[in-house]
Amino acid sequence: MPTYEYECPKCGCRLEKFEPITAEPNAKCPECGAKCKRLIGAGAGIIFKGSGFYTTDYRSDSYKKAAERDKEPAPAASSGGKSSDKKK
C-alpha cells in the first residue's frame, strides 16, 4: 500500500496516511480539523506538472528529472505552473 501525503489547506500542516490505493482521499487535519487534500506521493501515478513534458518523455531522462523535482515542495508561485494537470 502506498503512503499518501496530505496537506491541510488551512494551516498548511502535513500528515501521512498509509492506505490502499483504492481508498477515497479522506483525511482531516489533526490541528484544525479541516479536510486535507491529498498530494501526489511516491509510488502513485505521477502527474505531469509544468510545461514542456509530453507523454513521449515518459521514462526518459527529462521525465525522471521532472519526477524528482515534483517530490520537492513547490514554491507557491512557480513559473509555468499554469498548464493543466489533466491530459487530454
Binding site for Zn ion (CB under 5 A): 8, 10-11, 29, 31-32, 34
Strand partners, 45: none
Q: How far is the CB of 8 from Zn ion (least distance, A)?
A: 3
Task: Identify which of residues 10 and 69 has a Cβ nearer to Zn ion in the complex.
Answer: 10
Three cell numbers, residue 75: 514554491
Q: How far is the CB of 7 from Zn ion (least distance, A)?
A: 9
Q: How far is the CB of 15 from Zn ion (least distance, A)?
A: 9
Task: Identify which of residues 36 and 48 has a Cβ nearer to Zn ion in the complex.
Answer: 36
Closest CA to 72 of 42, 37, 28: 42
Outline where DSSP puts E strands in 2-88. Answer: 3-7, 14-18, 37-39
Task: Identify which of residues 8 and 27 has a Cβ nearer to Zn ion in the complex.
Answer: 8
Number of other CB atoms surrounding residue 31 within 10 Å: 12
The helix or strand, by DSSP H or E, that contains position 82, with its residue range, turns out to be none
Task: Identify which of residues 9 and 52 has a Cβ nearer to Zn ion in the complex.
Answer: 9
